[in-house]
Homo-oligomer: A and B are copies of this chain.
């Protein structure tokens, strides 16, 4: 189980989002409220797009060890500004704690991060790996289900049709899982981006999916909280998608419904759609 955060909007120092909020992602690394485990100390990662238009590939900095005591993370967060960044804290369920198992994962200008699990992944791993496009297979570096899900989505056309590719990935996990006698193979909340738009998915084969929230429109937040100067610095199109709210600001957070995905466009347009696996 993990926690993650996707930010899109006014270019901000990463620390504004990662460290400043009352229940920031760094606080969640020690004291998660909604996660299966309260501690997420098995590695972390951040990925950000630089403002320079020639740098289309995001920087991805990942490490082992907890985020809460990592000084380099704090240094970077205090000196790097970005209009679009991902952050992830990991709670391993047994796979190795190593840099290549920390999120976000990257392929060219795409990033991917995940909270959830493929049930009995050990049983399904080989067949899922074999379903990855042979030209992509050798780029898999770690041993997590999350990375294999990313490579499956790339195999199924993530770069052209993100919702379709994720639906096909989910259908593949469902199919392979059930073929191996796994009843409810998939629990997932995923964020992915090409550096312009952000897609976020919430889905579970059965039962309640992992929690997922998105932030309110900045203009409505300003109307609710006219005294919060911080909100005046944010542009209209600023949006956050998070595993759990970063604080208790009334009106700030909305649960993403189950079996749903949302997209946040660079221009601030956003929309929710139903999500279902589709072969």
Residues of A near any B CB (own CB < 8 A):
30, 37-39, 41-42, 48, 50, 52, 55, 57-66, 68-69, 71-72, 75-76, 78-81, 92, 95-100, 121-123, 125-126, 129-130, 134, 137-138, 140-143
Separation of A220 and B39 alpha carbons in the complex (Å): 38
Inter-subunit contact B141/A141 (CB<8 Å) = no
Top 6 A-B pairs ranked by shortest CB distance?
A59-B79, A98-B98, A126-B137, A125-B138, A65-B65, A122-B138
Inter-subunit contact B126/A97 (CB<8 Å) = no
A145 to chain B, nearest CB (A): 11
Q: Which residues of B contact A58 (CB under 8 A)?
A: 79
Q: Which residues of B contact A38 (CB under 8 A)?
A: 38-39
Q: Which residues of B contact A138 (CB under 8 A)?
A: 121-123, 125-126
A243 to chain B, nearest CB (A): 18
Closest to A127 in B: B134
Closest to A94 in B: B69
Could you say which of B55, B100, B121, B126 contacts A98, with CB atoms under 8 Å apart?
B100
A140 to chain B, nearest CB (A): 7
Inter-subunit contact B141/A96 (CB<8 Å) = yes
Q: Which residues of B contact A69 (CB under 8 A)?
A: 41-42, 92, 97
Separation of A59 and B71 alpha carbons in the complex (Å): 10
Inter-subunit contact B30/A39 (CB<8 Å) = yes
A76 to chain B, nearest CB (A): 7
Q: Knowing A41-B41, A122-B138, A143-B141 touch, does A99 contact B100 (C-beta < 8 A)?
A: no
Separation of A242 and B61 alpha carbons in the complex (Å): 27
Separation of A81 and B63 alpha carbons in the complex (Å): 22
Could you say which of B41, B55, B76, B98 contacts A76, with CB atoms under 8 Å apart?
B76
Separation of A252 and B176 alpha carbons in the complex (Å): 50
Separation of A122 and B92 alpha carbons in the complex (Å): 27
Separation of A141 and B121 alpha carbons in the complex (Å): 13
For the A-B complex with A71-B99, A96-B141 known, give 10 more contacts whose Cβ atoms are closer than 8 Å: A30-B39, A42-B66, A50-B79, A50-B81, A59-B79, A61-B75, A62-B71, A66-B66, A95-B141, A96-B100
Closest to A77 in B: B59
Question: 21 A-B contacts, Cβ less than 8 Å apart?
Answer: A39-B41, A41-B41, A41-B66, A42-B69, A50-B81, A52-B81, A57-B78, A58-B79, A61-B75, A61-B76, A62-B72, A72-B72, A95-B141, A98-B98, A98-B99, A98-B100, A100-B143, A121-B138, A125-B137, A130-B130, A140-B143
A144 to chain B, nearest CB (A): 11
